[in-house]
Amino acid sequence: MQKLTNKEEEIMHILWKLNKAFVKDVLAEIKTDKPHYNTLSTIIRNLEEKGYVGYTAYGKTHQYFPIVSKEVYRQEFMNSAIESYFNNSYKNVVSFFANEEKISVKDLREIIELIEKKK
């Protein structure tokens, strides 16, 4: 699975939300730094070439839809980030968030309970 640019990822989040959309629909969802219509169209076609998006043609107009689900992308993204930044260690991930005070002791206890329930 090819890595997405930040803008491509933003567009994918919109397509996951809308399920199916024309370029004008995607453009309407972008709140800041709206690209030109043609630029957005090119980004969506790039997503199609990368295998993330499919389309239904209506004459010269295309309605786009995600081929890769948000869950599959999230799993791939997380696995890649954990491998690249945390030496493939989930312990390092949890330690990072604990050191950054992004996760509480209560949250950690809940995670431990979830793990123990799965055993």
Q: What's the CA gap between 82 and 47, in Å, rounded? A: 24
Please check whether residues 39 and 51 belong to one and the same domain: yes
Residue 83: what pLDDT?
94
For residue 96, give both structure tokens.
């990072």
In a domain, 1, yes or no: no
In a domain, 83, yes or no: yes
Please check whether residues 46 and 13 belong to one and the same domain: yes
List the single range of 26-30, 45-49, 110-114 with lowest mean pLDDT. 110-114
Chain centroid offset of residue 84 CA: 17
For residues 46-66, give the mean pLDDT: 96
Please check whether residues 62 and 74 belong to one and the same domain: no
Q: Give the chain's mean pLDDT.
A: 93
What is the extent of the structural domain holding 96? 70-118
Torsion angle, alpha carbons of 40, 42, 46, 52, to 10: 40
Please check whether residues 15 and 55 belong to one and the same domain: yes
Please check whether residues 53 and 104 belong to one and the same domain: no
CATH of the domain at 36: 1.10.10.10
For the entire predicted model, the pTM comes to 0.81
C-beta of residue 63 within 8 angstroms of C-beta of residue 56:
yes
